[in-house]
Amino acid sequence: MKSNQRATRDLTVRERQQAVRALLARTHGGKPSRGSIKEFAGYFCVLEKTIFRLWKRAKTNTAQYGVFEASAMKLLTGRRPRDLKAVLERLRHVDVQQRTTIRSAAVACGLCFDHVDTSTNHCIDMIDVIHVDEKYFFLTVVKRRFIMLHNEAVPIRKLKSKRHITTVMMLMALARPQYNETDECIFGGKLGTWPFVVHTLAERTSRNRPAGTPLVKAVTATQENYRAMLIDKLLPAIKWPGGGRGTRITIQQDNASPHIVPKDSAFCAAVSALDLNVALKV
């Protein structure tokens, strides 16, 4: 059976050089001649956009480094590897009984799994960091069991369908718990959980409720709704023990699309109005 998927291949270094030199020979006014990219794409059995990327990369390298070539991007992207030979040499002076796991070996090398400043090798305690995230929650589940007495009425649940259970987006804010000198918890870290909903009134009468009945409807977590949630819910809920120790409190966001930039004008104005030392971080 013939597959409909288009075959892909990686060009070798020699093929890249040949393609770039061939295009350079067909260049007029700094641009390849009409049909040359398609011709060389068929010759090397690759897509036209592959040859076009090679030509574009060669021009970029010429402008930056003065070398007209299109080297492969493979193994040249992502985080640069670190040389850990000097750090791993510390393991030679540690008893094998103390490095039975990766975590114990990391401690023996003077490293930490998370939140380590490589310049000072000090752990970041994240005492003044608030993590915010959005999560979907179902209003109910398909099957629920209750322990009922013989004279109790069975709870009634009305849904459109068990395949269309309403979901609500919730914004949650959490920080690290804090303890005093006597190991007593003075701050639990749970700032709150708030739903993205609007309160409206029923416009029409139905068999389930008359018109004018208060309703709660879920809304999409857009950037405007997210900004309003931070200003109206999260900022008033920040009650730091000891007044925040005079340091700046950071609200850590992830890369979700509704999140706002750290210099958002409306958010900064709300922080100034509440006299808080709070900053956003992406």
State the pLDDT at residue 115: 46
State the pLDDT at residue 76: 60
State the pLDDT at residue 1: 44
- Sequence ranges of the domains in the chain: 13-65, 85-117, 125-281
214, two tokens: 């208060």
State the pLDDT at residue 254: 87
SS (H, E, C) the chain: CCCCCCCCCCCCHHHHHHHHHHHHHCEECCEECCCHHHHHHHHHCCCHHHHHHHHHHHHHHHHHHCCCCCCCCCCCCCCCCCCCHHHHHHHHHCCHHHCCCHHHHHHHCCCCCCCEECCCCEECCCCCEEEEEEEEEECCCCCCCCCCCCCCCCCCCCCCCCCCCCEEEEEEEEECCEECCCCCEEECCEEEEEECEEEEECCCCCCCCCCCCEEEEECCCCHHHHHHHHHHHHHHHCCCHHHHHHCCEEEECCCCCCCCCCCCHHHHHHHHHCCCCEEEEC
Ordered mean pLDDT values, 10 residues apiece, the chain (282 residues):
56 83 83 86 86 84 74 65 73 79 75 56 78 92 84 83 89 92 89 94 90 92 94 91 71 89 92 90 84
State the pLDDT at residue 105: 77
State the pLDDT at residue 255: 84
